[in-house]
Amino acid sequence: MAVGLNYADRSILPVIFPAMRGDLGLSDVTFGVLGSLFLWSYALCGPFAGMLADRYSRRLQVVVSLAAWSTATLLAGAATGFLMLAALRIVLGVTEALYLPAGAALLGDLHGPATRGRAMGLQLLAQSAGVILGSACAGFIAERYGWRLSFVLLGSVGVGLALVAGKFLGKPPSPVKVGVVRANVGEALKYLAHTPTFLLMLAETILGGSAVWIFFNWMPLYLYEGHGMKMGAAGFAGMAMLQGASMLGIVAGAAISDRAVRRSASSRLLVFGTAYLAAAPCLLVFLFGPTYGWVVASVAGFSFLRALGSVNELPILCDVIPPPFRSTAIGIFVACACAAGGAGILFAALLKQSLGLAAIFGALSGMFLLAGAALLFGHRYLIRSDIKRASAWIDAQPA
């Protein structure tokens, strides 16, 4: 539930922006700035959040993050202008960044390679459900009661959950032998810098992350302006197309990932790259002025295939990185995706008037083709030696 709220809170702004635009005097460019500020603050905090989670209590970090970002969401309902809203989006980015490195590493501690894909797939399902439900509810509430109530309700739910979350987070047993209780930051960074698969995954998430965030941030406004949909309908349709198909892709991808890894430890990367190459052509339909039906079909196909591949991201990181360094790795990984996403959102805002959102969406296919090709290169030449190196590092630690 916490990860669902994490993604619901960040996703409602694109949906209720048409109502906020007139009330607070915002433009398309300021909307892009708000999205970028969130992602850039998230990116700046991400590596430090990962280092904290590797050195101290991951469970405590999850609870503190939930309480802090929910409070920021609650206060956004009282925003009086761009500056206050921008400050709260920065706070939201910083506080939400604390969650994923700690939460994902907790799952990695609990699950070995045989079940890791399904466990992390369930977390991704919660993310998608949070985006769909949060966006749909926020849009309908904004139409009837004003945009401020959307922030207030979501923030209040999060604060309430934070008060009881500690009772549900027991201390996870470690499924592997780990001699290092608190990771040394320098040692972690050195290990990551000498792990080619990790560096390849950073390149992948920069390409894929920026493209996904452009799509995620601008799709509701594209439907609102280009297809005449109301806020609630645009928010639900835009996020349901993206996240609904993604949920099916996550279920399929998690099962395929765990099954593939039984044949070969490197197979997750093969599944990942193949899925990205298959997803890329779906976006080209936007270059031809598609009807709403074609938009639904192309976005659903793209989202399904992208999710089928990307469900492998965190399991791959856990396969090639020893447990004491995983939160640091995930923090840096997510930071790169968010930094690139923030740049992409702002770049799309600047190009929106001259090119249009449809052309921007269509051009994203090239980024996924490049990312898919890079992943297949990693499968062929990099990941096997990195998995062996991680296993050797764990075996070398004292019992």
SS3 195: coil
Say yes or no to pLDDT of 114 above 80: no
Q: How confident is the model at residue 116 (pLDDT cuts 50, 70, 90)?
A: low
Q: Which two tokens stand for residue 54?
A: 């590797």
**What secondary structure does DSSP assign to 152-188, as a single string?**
HHHHHHHHHHHHHHGGG-PPPPPSS----SS--HHHH
Are 362 and 128 contacting, i.e. CB atoms less than 8 angstroms apart?
no
Please, what's the b/e burial string for 75-90 (b: 16 or more CB within 10 A of its CB; e: otherwise)?
bbbebeebeebbebbb
**Lowest mean pLDDT segment, chosen from 10-24, 61-75, 126-140, 200-214:** 126-140
Span 272-291, average pLDDT: 92
Q: In whole angstroms, what is the distance from residue 308 CA to residue 245 CA?
A: 10
Residue ranges of domains in the chain: 2-168+181-395
Span 314-330, average pLDDT: 89
SS3 27: coil
**How confident is the model over 164-183, as pLDDT tens digits?**
776 666 555 444 444 444 56
Work out whether the CA dihedral 106, 108, 114, 118 comes out positive or negative.
positive
> 308: part of which helix (H) or strand (E)?
helix 292-310
Q: How confident is the model at residue 190 (pLDDT cuts 50, 70, 90)?
A: very high
Q: In whole angstroms, what is the distance from residue 290 CA to residue 300 CA?
A: 14
**What secondary structure does DSSP assign to 87-129, as a single string?**
HHHHHHHHHHHTHHHHHHHHHHHH--HHHHHHHHHHHHHHHHH
pLDDT for 230:
61
Please, what's the b/e burial string for 258-280 (b: 16 or more CB within 10 A of its CB; e: otherwise)?
bebbeeebbbbbbbbbbbbbbbb
**How confident is the model over 336-364, as pLDDT tens digits?**
988 888 888 888 888 888 888 889 999 99
% of residues, the chain, pLDDT over 70: 86
pLDDT for 174:
45
pLDDT for 163:
83
pLDDT for 115:
65
Say yes or no to pLDDT of 253 above 80: yes
Are 307 and 251 contacting, i.e. CB atoms less than 8 angstroms apart?
no
**How confident is the model over 4-20, as pLDDT tens digits?**
777 777 778 877 877 88
Q: In whole angstroms, what is the distance from residue 150 CA to residue 11 CA?
A: 11
Length of the chain equals 399
Q: Which two tokens stand for residue 314?
A: 């965190």
pLDDT for 154:
85
Q: How confident is the model at residue 231 (pLDDT cuts 50, 70, 90)?
A: low
Say yes or no to pLDDT of 74 above 70: yes
**Lowest mean pLDDT segment, chosen from 42-51, 129-138, 366-375:** 129-138
pLDDT for 261:
80
Q: How confident is the model at residue 236 (pLDDT cuts 50, 70, 90)?
A: low
Query: What mean pLDDT is reported for the chain?
Result: 82
**Lowest mean pLDDT segment, chosen from 73-87, 90-104, 367-381:** 90-104
**Lowest mean pLDDT segment, chosen from 49-63, 121-135, 175-189, 325-339:** 175-189
Q: In whole angstroms, what is the distance from residue 216 CA to residue 379 CA?
A: 28
Say yes or no to pLDDT of 280 above 70: yes
Are 124 and 250 contacting, i.e. CB atoms less than 8 angstroms apart?
yes
Q: Find the angle CA(251)-CA(54)-CA(396) to the nearest 5 degrees.
A: 95
Are 158 and 66 contacting, i.e. CB atoms less than 8 angstroms apart?
yes
pLDDT for 173:
47
SS3 329: helix
Q: Which numeric CATH code is attached to 2-168+181-395?
A: 1.20.1250.20
Q: Which residues, other chains included, contact 45 with Cβ-Cβ below 8 Å and sequence gap of 6+?
A: 93, 94, 97, 98, 335
Q: How confident is the model at residue 272 (pLDDT cuts 50, 70, 90)?
A: very high
Q: In whole angstroms, what is the distance from residue 241 CA to residue 223 CA?
A: 11
